[in-house]
Amino acid sequence: MGEAVWAQRKPVVLAPMAGGAGRPELVAAVVEAGGQAFLPAGYKTAAQLRNDIEATRALTGGPFGVNLFMPSHDDVDDAAVAAYRDLLADEAADLDAELGTPKARDDDYDAKVEDLLADPPALVSFTFGCPSREVVRAFRRADVTTVVTVTTVDEARQAVESGADALCVQGTEAGAHRGSFTNTTECALPLRELLPAVRAVTGLPLFAAGGIGSAGDVAEVLDLGAVAAQVGTLFLRCPESGATPVAKAALADPRFTETAVTRAFSGRPARGLVNRFLSRYSDEAPAAYPDVHYITSPLRKAAAARGDADAVNLWAGTAFRSATEAPAADVLDRLTPR
């Protein structure tokens, strides 16, 4: 049972990292080194996820989790999406790329749940919403531990209500998307304020995510009541990470000095290094996820292929300066409190 997973392993969890970084090699390396890890399911089909689960299992016999994106039920202003698309036309021309077309907003969720129930991993975590009680119960029957990502106390209460086994508490320092239940949730609390506030309303085990850059930070969140720290950015430059070369290089480039939260790339608040695209479009990007993600996808791919760090999403948390080009086992070791 999953409770044993965090009780028996190092108190550091490799965050699920959709979009390429969190590939099976990285997940397996962290698990093999005694840490905990989540394979991302976001943006994959159920069949692609199954391939990645099998690839991970081929590299490690240890327990790992899978992270699911909840389907998006936010209202989207189609006219605002069309206007944003028009605004990006020149970017597309400059990159010799076509703008993308929005796809389904459900991320193949039902098919993934069915597939995971048939052949489950040790844990399943959920982001961008709260799973139904039925889904949580079905995973419990399959002996899977469930974790819900929360960014406010209210979301924590809803997650507890769903019957989840644990919560991942995400502070505003976190790299990439805020895992809030809706696209418009205001959730700007730093981890060291949010964690005690969530602790006050539930006794469930808590993972703490956002801006973790050292073993001292991990020790601090453990002192605040977490069972483990969930870390993304510090693993991005590892050789096992599937982050693009341009994203890896940017994390170490002195030209990039700060991070900010933006909807410019995906239509949902996400933290990344401040580059030209982020500065230019943050004020105009609509709250439309994953529509904007799909529209900008070909631009981001074209820019990454050219090595143009100014037109890609450079997801990073506030501790990005502590990300080093070291094997995942070394990063895990460096983060583990003695």
Q: Which is nearer to ligand FMN, 70 or 92 (CB)?
A: 70
317 binds ligand FMN (CB under 6 A): yes
Nearest to 280 by CA among 260, 307, 294, 297: 260
We find the least distance from the C-beta atom of residue 283 to ligand FMN, in angstroms, to be 23
Q: How many residues bind ligand FMN (CB under 6 A)?
A: 28
Q: Which is nearer to ligand FMN, 92 or 313 (CB)?
A: 313
Q: Which is nearer to ligand FMN, 88 or 194 (CB)?
A: 194
Rule CB under 6 A: which of 122-151 touch ligand FMN? Answer: 127, 149
The Cα–Cα gap between 67 and 153 comes to: 21
Six-digit token string for 205: 């085990």
We find the least distance from the C-beta atom of residue 77 to ligand FMN, in angstroms, to be 25
Rule CB under 6 A: which of 192-251 touch ligand FMN? Answer: 209-212, 230-233
We find the least distance from the C-beta atom of residue 211 to ligand FMN, in angstroms, to be 5
Nearest to 187 by CA among 173, 166, 167, 207: 173
100 binds ligand FMN (CB under 6 A): no
Instruction: Return the residue of 102, 175, 269, 286 that touches ligand FMN, per CB under 6 A.
Output: 175
The Cα–Cα gap between 123 and 320 comes to: 27
**x-or-dash string of contact with ligand FMN, 248-287, rule CB under 6 A:** ----------------------------------------
φ/ψ bin of 267: left (φ > 0), alpha (ψ from -120 to 50), beta (otherwise)? left
- The burial of 332, by beta-carbon neighbours within 10 Å (0-12 exposed, 13-18 middle, 19 or more buried), is given as buried
For residue 329, the one-letter residue type is: A
* Stretch binding ligand FMN (CB under 6 A), from 175-183, 215-223, 249-257, 298-306: 175-183
- The burial of 93, by beta-carbon neighbours within 10 Å (0-12 exposed, 13-18 middle, 19 or more buried), is given as exposed
Q: Please give the backbone phi and psi of residue 150, each rounded to the nearest 5 degrees, phi first.
A: -130, 150
Instruction: Return the residue of 179, 205, 267, 269 that touches ligand FMN, per CB under 6 A.
Output: 179
Q: Which is nearer to ligand FMN, 92 or 113 (CB)?
A: 113
21 binds ligand FMN (CB under 6 A): yes
Would you tell me which residues interact with ligand FMN (CB under 6 A)?
15-19, 21, 40, 42, 67, 127, 149, 170, 173-176, 179, 209-212, 230-233, 315, 317, 319
